[in-house]
Structure 1
């Protein structure tokens, strides 16, 4: 069985997501590391009020992904590949053994702070489902030609896309797509315009911060959702992590590539479930699970 661990991005967060982590010594250590470095208790990150702040959301997703990934490894369930969506790339790199958890906490805190300060209000992300790529891209192009801030950020599935930009403009884009007769839309629980050029300056600053960080060759193969390919060298992974906030994500192509490489089991780390559904559409004859709704004995 060739398996991949997937790690969700913003929008998957849930209140009290850090209160039901596995009972294991390694998880206890992870929680203590996070408390020591961040200087806060975990329940200060995942309350309803706390999760209105993108900084807390990104840190909580990092901690949750690392805790569950490490727990699975310790009980004998190990990934051949890791693949993270947006902020999910960071716990993926930690679980793969490339990025130290201590460094990841500091980097994610800096990443989230810079995103929040750049776009404190009025921006976000919107998902469109059921529409064809050509109609989504046409709506984005027409608005960009008028000088509007809207971008095609994520290509998550054959008929599932995410736009980033000003909320006012995102509504207009969704209306233009719906005028073709298809396409439902919903705002994601994301308060910043990720995966587009609006965050280019912030990603370059994060890359400069990465220069003082040492990454290792991963033990599991690290897949870049921005490039839809495996990255082997630490410097490649470093650049991918730093710049992914401003790069378009190709989740659908990444899943297709892993299928072609023989992956036949997908395990999505909590608190996510959406990535499992996206992968299942491609890996129709394989096994796709989100860990929270699975009896782990079936994997062992």
Structure 2
């Protein structure tokens, strides 16, 4: 049986998440390295006001994810697969060995700034529970107006589908969802229309950066956002990081492939637990937890037990 390390996507940020990281030299080293690259203390991004910026959120989430993974790694915790949702894919790429922290951080900064500059206000995301992808896509078609586009995007679970677009159109989808049979429909804490054609411009800017970055073949298989497949070549990881900006995250497909390949322990890195809860719901016979929920020592014990085949 195998372990998967999961890396949080946007929406799981909270003020103080960097200060709350496990106290360990490995986490401190990441915070220091990121601060040097930024030219200022990354802790400045850790308050409510700073996290209003999409660019800051992406840098802070990436930092939290890599710092927490480095703690688990330093303690001896290893995974057979890694998977990251949206911005979490950059942390997963670092953990897979495909990309250095410095190069990944540079790309994350470009990605966040480009998204924010393209849509500084008036756009965002929502999520619909209880309807499948086709039904949500139909609602998006009904809700769109000239100058107010909206798209069905991320498939987080068979009946948990995100939407991205202009705020009024996103709101119309959420209003239509209840009468259409949704069990829940709400806005997400994401203030850009990610993972849809509106992101073609930021995708081009990200591509210009990542084309010149050195990637290595991942030593730990990396689950792709765009296709849900596990990737083993440097060029495949590069392409996934680029193309997922303007394409839906096929999250459920990705974790389903990992489950089929023997994954029975899903551990989410800092700071969230949404992905581990999705895994617990999708695969009742697997174990799913988060670093924030259990702490690094217990995570290490779970990983060791999984490696030993004792579940």
Q: Decide: shared fold, TM above 0.5.
A: yes
Q: What's 2:12 paired with? A: 12
Structure 2's unaligned 5+ residue stretches are: 305-311
Q: What's 1:69 paired with? A: 69
User: In structure 2, do the counterparts of structure 1 residues 227 and 45 end up closer, same or farther at CA, with 3 Å as the change threshold?
Assistant: same
Q: What's 1:46 paired with? A: 46
- Give deviations 1:222-266, integer Å, cap 9, x for gaps: 110211001111111111112211111111111111111110000
Q: What's 2:226 paired with? A: 226
The 2-side partners of 1:198 and 1:93 are apart by: 24
The 2-side partners of 1:28 and 1:190 are apart by: 28
Whether the aligned pair in 2 keeps the contact of 1:128 and 1:160 (CA below 8 Å) is yes
**Deviation of the 1:145 alpha carbon:** 7.7
Q: What's 2:86 paired with? A: 86
Is residue 186 of structure 1 aligned with residue 186 of structure 2? yes
More divergent stretch after superposition (142-151 vs 200-209)? 142-151
Structure 1's unaligned 5+ residue stretches are: none
Give matches, 1:97-246, under 5 Å: 97-144=97-144, 148-246=148-246
- Give deviations 1:200-237, integer Å, cap 9, x for gaps: 12102211211211011112111102110011111111
Secondary structure, in 3 states, of the residue corresponding to 1:264? strand
**Deviation of the 1:98 alpha carbon:** 1.0
**Deviation of the 1:146 alpha carbon:** 5.9
User: In structure 2, do the counterparts of structure 1 residues 113 and 145 end up closer, same or farther at CA, with 3 Å as the change threshold?
Assistant: closer
Is residue 33 of structure 1 aligned with residue 14 of structure 2? no
**Deviation of the 1:104 alpha carbon:** 1.2
Whether the aligned pair in 2 keeps the contact of 1:266 and 1:276 (CA below 8 Å) is yes
Q: TM-score, with normalisation over the residues of structure 2? A: 0.92
Whether the aligned pair in 2 keeps the contact of 1:265 and 1:287 (CA below 8 Å) is yes
**Deviation of the 1:91 alpha carbon:** 0.6
The 1-side partners of 2:244 and 2:182 are apart by: 30
Q: What's 2:275 paired with? A: 275
Whether the aligned pair in 2 keeps the contact of 1:255 and 1:282 (CA below 8 Å) is no
Q: TM-score, with normalisation over the residues of structure 1? A: 0.96
More divergent stretch after superposition (82-91 vs 134-143)? 134-143
Secondary structure, in 3 states, of the residue corresponding to 2:263? coil
- Give deviations 1:94-150, integer Å, cap 9, x for gaps: 111111101111111111000000000000000111223332121112344866410
Aligned residues: 300
Q: What's 2:21 paired with? A: 21
Secondary structure, in 3 states, of the residue corresponding to 2:87? helix
Whether the aligned pair in 2 keeps the contact of 1:135 and 1:177 (CA below 8 Å) is no
User: In structure 2, do the counterparts of structure 1 residues 47 and 147 end up closer, same or farther at CA, with 3 Å as the change threshold?
Assistant: closer
More divergent stretch after superposition (170-179 vs 246-255)? 170-179
